[in-house]
Structure 1
Amino acid sequence: MSFSKAKIQRFNEIKECTPSPAKYNITTQEKIKLGIISQSGKYIKKPESQSGSETGSINSTPCFQTPTVPKKKKFLGMSTFKTRTADRQEELREKIVECHNKDVYIKDLVEQIEEMTEKMATLEQEKLILLAENEKIAEETTLKQGKLNEIHLKHNEIHAQVKVMNSSLRKIRQESEALKNENCVEFAKILKYVNKFQDLHDKAIKENQNEALEMEKKNRQEFQKEIESLKHRLKQELEEANKKLNESEAKVTLLEENFKEVSLLTEMQTKEKIDEIEASWKLKLEAKEKESEAILKECQEISEYNIIQSEIEKNQLKVSLSEKEKMYDELVEKYNVLETDRNKMNEEVNNLKSEKHAYELSITTFRDTIEVLKKRLINSDRDVEQLKEELGQSEEKILLYEKKTTELTNQLNETQVANEEFEIQYESTSKIMQNQVKTIEKHLLNKVEVLEGELKRDKQLLNEVLQQHHEQQSLIMKAQETVAQANNWIESLEKRQNELETEMKDSKNKLIEETEEAAEIRKKYIEKSGELDKLAQQYEEVLAELKQTKDKNEELQNLIGPYQQQLEAYDNELKIMMNEKQTIAKEAKDLTQKYADILGHHNHKQKIKHLTDLKVRSSELFEKNIDLESKNFKLNKLVDKLKKEVEDLKKGGKKIKLSNEDKENLGSPKCLKGVQSPGPLKDKN
C-alpha cells in the first residue's frame, strides 16, 4: 500500500489569488500527538527491491515528497511496537503540519517577491519614460528657445526700424510744417489780395458796364434828338434861304447889274455865319462830352451806392423772408392745433348728438309709458298713487333731460360758431400769407433774373481774370500736390508706426503672459519636484523592503537546507515503514483526505473573499495609476514650461549658476533649501 499521488505544484506556478499568511490565519484542527521515533530506527537501509506503486509518486516529483513508511523488522514485544508506531505517527503528523505551514509561508514570500519585482519593473519603465520625456522636453525647449531668439531679433529689428521711421517722420513733419508756415502766409496773403482784387474788379466791371450802357443809350438818344432838331432847323433855314434866294434871284435878275457887289457881300456874310455856327456847335459838343463824362462818373457812384443798397435790401428781404417763413410755420402749427381742436369738438358734438338721441329715445319711451299709464289710470284706480309718483319722477327726469339737451345744444352752437370763426381766421391768414409769399416770390424772381444777367457778365470777366491768374494757380496746385504727397507719406508712416506700436504692445502682452505662466509653472514645478522627492523616498523605502525580503528569503532557504536532509531521511524511513504498516497508512490516508476536504472548503471560501478584496484593490490601484499618469503628464508639461522659462531667463541676461553636485534636480524644494538629497535621477537609483 502507498499514498495516492499528491497534486504537483511548483513555486513558479503559484496562483495570484492565494493570500499571504498575514491576511488570514488558517484554522487547523488540533494536532494529534504522534509517537517519537528513536534515533536508532531513523536511518535504516533501503530494501533492494521496491514495488512500482511505492516509488511511483516519488520519482516523478522534484519538490517535497510525501514520506513513505520504511519497512522494519518485527520486534519480539507487541507493546513496544505499538508505542513506537504511535510515537512515530505523532511525529510524522507534526512534521507534515510544519511542512505545510512552511510551504504556505514560502508561497507568500514568493508572491511578495514577485509583486516587488513587478513594482520594480514598472518603476524602471516609468523612469525610462520620464527620461525620454525629459529628453523630448529638452529638445522642445531648445527649439522654442531658438524661436524666442528669432522673435527677440525680429523685435529688435522692428524697434530699430520704428526708431528710424520716427526720426524720418519727425524730420518730414518739421519740413512740412516749415513749408506750410512759409507758404501758408504767402498763400493767404495772395488769396486775400486775389479775392479783393476779383471782388473790386467784378464790381467795377459791373458798374462800368451798366453805367456805360445806360450813358451810351442816353447820349445816343440825346444826340439823335439834337441832330434831328438841328437838321430840322437847317432844313427850315435852307428853305427860307432858298425862298430868299429865289426872291433875290428874281430881284437879282432885275438888279444884277446894280447889286453884284451886294450879292458878293451877302455870300461872304453867310459863309462867316456858317463858320460861326459850326464853331458854336463844336464847342457845344465838347461841353456835352465833358458833361457826359461827369454824368458817367456820377452814374458810377450812384450805381455803386445802388448795388450796396440792393445788397442791404437783399439781406433785409432774406431776413424778412425767414421771419415770414417762421410766421408761416407757426400759423401752420396753429392751424394743425386748431384742426385737432376742431376734430375734438366734432367728436364731442357727435357724442352730444348721440347722447341727445339717447335722451330723445328715453323721452319718447317715457312719453309712451306716460300714455300707457294714462290709459291704465282710466281703467284702474288702485294704482293711481303709484302712477302719480312715477309720473312725477318721470316728469322730473324729463325736465332734467330737457335741461341737459338745451345745455348741449347751446354748447354745440358755441362750438360750431367758434369753429367757423377759426376757419374764417385760418382762411384769411392763409390767403394773406399766400399773397405775401407770391409777391415776395415775384420780387425775388425779378431780382434773380437781374442777378443772372449780371452773373453772365461777371462770368466773362472772371474767365479773363482766371486766364491772367492761371499761372499763379498752377504754381499753387503744384505746391499743394507736393504738400499732399508729403501728408500722404506722413500718414502712411504714421499708420506704419501705429501698426508697429500695436505689434510691440501685443508682443509685450504675450511676454507678460508668458512670464506669468512661467511663474505659475515654477510654483507647480517646485510642488511637483517635492512630490517627486517624496516618491523617490518611497521608492528607496520599497527597495530597502525588497532587500530585507530577499535577505529573509535567503535566510529561510538556508534554514530549509538541513531540513531537506532530514526530510529525505524521513522519506526513507516512511518507505521502509509503509510495507509494515498498511493499516496505519490507510487510516492516515483517510484522515488526510478528510483533513484536506475540510481545509479545501475553508480555503475556498477565504479565496473567494480574498478575490473580491483583490478586485476592489485592483480597481483602486487602476484609478491611482490613472491619477499618477495624469500627474506625470502635468509634471512633464511643467518641466517643459520651466525649461522654457530658464532659457528665457538665460536669454534675457539672468544667468542661473547650477551647482555641480545637483544639476538634475534643479528647482526642487530640497535644492532650493540647500539640502543635498539624492534625487530620482541619481546613480543611486
Structure 2
Amino acid sequence: MSFPKAKIKRFNEIAVSTPSPADYNVDFKQKPKLGIISQSGRFVEYRSPSASETASTQSTPCFKTPTIVRKKLLGSASKQIVVNDKLTDKDLLIERVVECRNKDIFIKELTEQLEELKTKVFNINCEKEKIDEKKKLFEEELCKLQKLHDAEGDNIFKKHEKELIELNDEILNLRNQVEQLNNENEILKSDLLNSQNQYEKEVNAYKKEIEDKEKLIEISIRNLKKMEEEKTHIEQIHKNELDNLHTKHKNDIQNIELEMLKCVHDVQNSLDDEKHQNKLKIKEIHKCFTKEIENLNQSFNNERQLLTSQHIAQIKQLEEKMNEIKVLSDILCKEKCTELESYWKHKMEKKEEESAAILKECQAISEYNIIESEVEKNNYKLKFETKIKKFNELERKYDAVYLNYKQLQASYSNAQNKLYRMIKELKDKERMKNEINKLLTEKQTYETTILRCQNTIEILKRRLTESDQDVEQLKTEIRENESRILEYEEQVYSYSTKLKEAEVLKEELEKKNDLILKTTQEEIKKITENLLQKVDDVKVTSEKHKKFYEAESQKKEMEKKELFTMLQDQQMLIEKSKVLIDTTDIELEKIAAENSNYRSKVSELTCLNSTLQTNIDILTEEKNNWKIEKKELELKFDILKNELDQLMKYGEALESTSNRLSQLDKINKTLEKDILEKNSEICNLKNDLEMSKTRNIELEMLNKQYCEKIEEQKVRIAPFKEQLESYELEMYNLKNAKNLMENEAKDLGSKFAAMLGHQNHKQKIKYMMGLKARNEDLLKMNLDLEGKTRIQEKKLEKLKKENIELKKNMRKISVFEDKENMPSPNRSIKCESPGPLKDLN
C-alpha cells in the first residue's frame, strides 16, 4: 500500500532510551479508538445511512489503510527524539512484545466478533430451513387446492354452459314477446284514449241536456207557483163575490116577495120562458163537454196505443238482449229475467185497466225504468267491486314484484361487492407473490454478500500479520459488516413474518373464494329463475288485462246505447207531460173565462156553478197529482245525476288503471334493461374468472420454477456447510492457542516490568536471555501458525473458484487494476457491491 502523505515509521526509528514500564503496561480492557457501531437496538429502522456512516470506498472490497494520528510520546515537547540506526536486542524485544500484545488484543476481539457472526449465521440457516420446509408444505397444499379449484371451475362451467345458452334463447324470446305486448298495449292505449274522448263528449252532451231540462223544470215550477197564487187570489175573489151575491140575493128576495103579489103572473110567464131557454143552453153546453171528453178519450187511447207499442218494442229489444245475456250468464240471471217479465206483464195489465190515468202509467214506466236502472246499477256495482278487487290484487302483486325486484337489486349489489373484493384479494395475492419473488432475489443477494463478507474476514485475517493500519481498517469494515448483517437479519425476520402473514391470507382467500363462488352461483340461479317467473306472470297478467278491458269496453258501449235510448224515451214522456200540462192550463184559462162570463148569471145558474166547482176540484186534484209526479221525476233526475257521477268516477278509475298500465310498461322496460345489464355483467365476471385462472396457472408455473431454483441452490450450498464446520473446528483450536499465547505474554510483561526495575545488571542480562529463548519459541509457533494460514488460504482460493463458477449466471464481475495497491495480490480484483446496500448508500 502506498500513502504518499502518511509518515512512515519503522522499528529502527524508535529512541534508544528505554521508556518506563508504565508506558508498556497496556490495558487489555481498553479498546482501540476506531469506528463505533450504533447500539440502539437489534432491529433498526430502514433508512439511508449518513455520510459519516458510509465507507470512503463505497463498500468495495479494496482495503485501504487510513491515515491515523499517532500517539505522541510522553514528556516535554522540547525533548529531541534521538534516532539511532542500530537497535539493541533489548529494544527489539520490547517492540516485539508490544506488537504481540496489541495483535493479541485485536485477534481476541476479532474472534469474538467471528463467533457472534457464526452464531447468527447458524440461526439464520436454521430459520431458513424451517421456512423452506413450511414453504414446501404450503406449495403442496397450494397445488392441491389449485387442482381442486380448476376441476370445480371446469365442472361448473360445463354444467352451466347449456343453462346459459338456454337462458339466452329464453331471453331473446321474452324480448320478442315483450315487444309484441308493448305494441298491443300501445294499440289498446290508443283505443282507450279514443273511447275516453268519445265518452267525455257524450257526457258533456248529456250534461248540457240535463242542464237545459233542469232550466225547463225550474220555469215550469215557477209557472205552477204563479198559477197557484192566481188560483188562491181567484178563490178569494169568488168568495167575496158570493158573499155579496148572497146579501144582494136576500135583498132581492125581500123586494121580490114584496113585488110577488103585484106581478106573479108576469113573473111566472117570464120564468117559464127563461127555464126553457136555460134548458136549451144546458143541453148545448153538455153536448160541447161530451164532445171534448170524447176527443180527449180518443187522443188518450191513441197515445196509450203508441206508448204500448213503443214499450212492447222496447220489451222485445230487452228480451233479445236478455236472451243474449242468458247465454253468457248463469241460472240466477234467467230466474231474474222471468221474474221481471212476469212483473212487467202484471204491470202492463194494470196499465191497460187504468187507461184513464195516463200519468199513473207514466209513473209505472218510470218505476220500471228505475228498477231496471237499479238492477243495472247493482250489476255495475258488483262489476266495479270485482274490478276493485282485481285492481287491489294487481297492486299487491305489483308491490310484491317490486319488493322482489329491490331484493334482487340488493343481492346483485352484494354479489358485485363480493366479486370486487375477490378481485382485490387476487390482486393482493399477486402483489404478495411478486414481493416474495423480490424477497427471494434479495435473499440470494444477501447470501452472496455474506459470502463476500466471509471472504473479506479471511482477507483481514491475512492482513493482521502485515500492519497495524490494515488491522484498524479491518475493524472498521467488520463493524460495517456487522451492521449490515444486523440489517439483513432484521430484513429476514420482517420478510419471514410477511411470508407467514401472506400464507395465512392466502389460505383465507382460497376459502373465501370457494364460498363466494358457491354463493354467487346459487344466487345467479335464483335470480334467473325469479326473473323468468316474473316475466311469465307479467305476460299472463297483461293478457288477462287485455281481454278484460276489451270485454269491459264492449259492455260499456252497449250500456251507453241502452242509457241513451232510455234517456230519449224519458225525454219523449216529459215532452208529452209538458203538452198535457199546457192543454190543461189552456182549458183552465177557458174555464176561468167562462166562469167569469157565468158569474153575472150565478143567481140564475147555481146548478151550473156547482158542476163547475166539482170540475175545478177534479182539476186541482189532477194538479196535485202532477206535482207529486214532478217531485218523483226530480228524484229520478237526482238518481240519474248520481249515476252519471258514478260513471264519471268509473271513467277516472279507468284512467288511473291506464296510467298504472303505462307505469307497468315502464317497469317492464326497466326490468328488461336490468336483465341485459346483469347478463353483460355475468359475461364480464366469467371473463374475469378465466383471466384469474390463467394468472393463477402462470403464478403456479413461476412458483414451481422458483422451487426448483431453491432446491438447486440448496444442493450447491450443501458442500460449503461441511467446509464451514471444518473451519469452525480450526477456529476453536486457534482460539485455544491464542489464549495460551495471551497468558504467556502476560507473564512476560510482568517479568519484563520486574526486570526493568531490578538493580542488578546481571540479573537483567539473564532475564533478557530467557526472554530471547522464549521469543524464539514464539517465533516457531508463529511460523507454524503461518503454515496453517497458508493451507487455509489455498482452501479459500479453491472455494473462491467454485463461487465464481456459481456466480456466472447471477452477476458479472468487473476486473480492473488498482493503481494505488499494485503490489498486494489480494487487491488486484475489485468487485462491485453485490448487495442492496450500495443502492441505499
TM-score by length of 2: 0.30
Larger Rg: 1
TM-score by length of 1: 0.36
